[in-house]
Amino acid sequence: MIRVLSVVAALAVGATAVYAQSSAIGQRQAAMKAFAGAAKEPGAVLKGEANFDLAKVQGSLAVYQEQATKLKVLFPDDSKSGEETAALAVIWDKKSDFLSRLDKLSGDAKAAAAAIKDEASFKVEWPKVMSNCGGCHKEYRKAKQ
């Protein structure tokens, strides 16, 4: 009976660890998709494909602030691999730099939200927020195939 309980306990611990890893990877992938979705409408405005809408821009900036903060806890050491993660191992080697980049993204989005009042200010501020994405992707994300 004790052996059976030991095996059951070991399986439960293992399943919990796998779920936690899976959960972190899935949650950070969802956060990255939220970033992509939030960039769509403002990106179309910059290209001249959509009209400027301050409320939509402010909503997008709120997504960046929220998700950047949320992402900070979604890179535990046990989530380096699995679920086809695009995160490179260097994230865990340079974690303080990576986390500071998330802070910068959130801060830049907050500053832009305060500064953007019209289309002209949007065209100045939005690229500052977006510049965070490329730098992080270049160093910390696997290249798309």
Q: Report the top-level CATH class of 2-75+82-140.
A: mainly alpha
Query: What pLDDT does 81 receive?
Result: 84
Q: Which residues pair with 141 in a beta bridge?
A: 87
* pLDDT score for 12: 46
At residue 13, does pLDDT exceed 70? Answer: no
In the chain, where the domains are located: 2-75+82-140
Distance in angstroms (rounded) separating the CA atoms of residues 24 and 56:
28
pTM: 0.81
User: Which residue has 């900036």 as its token pair?
Assistant: 61
Closest CA to 56 of 143, 116, 98: 116
Are residues 77 and 92 in contact, defined by beta-carbon separation less than 8 angstroms?
yes
pLDDT in tens, 105-135: 999 999 999 999 999 999 999 999 999 998 8
Dist. CA 142–CA 94, nearest whole Å: 16
Rounded to whole angstroms, the Cα distance separating 5 from 51 reads: 63
pLDDT band, very low/low/confident/very high, at 3 (cuts 50, 70, 90): low
pLDDT tens-digit readout, 18-57: 444 458 999 999 999 999 999 999 999 999 999 999 999 9
| CA-to-CA separations, 57 to 1, 20, 76, 127, in angstroms, rounded | 61, 34, 31, 12
**Per-residue pLDDT tens over the stretch 65-97:** 999 999 999 999 999 887 789 999 999 999 999
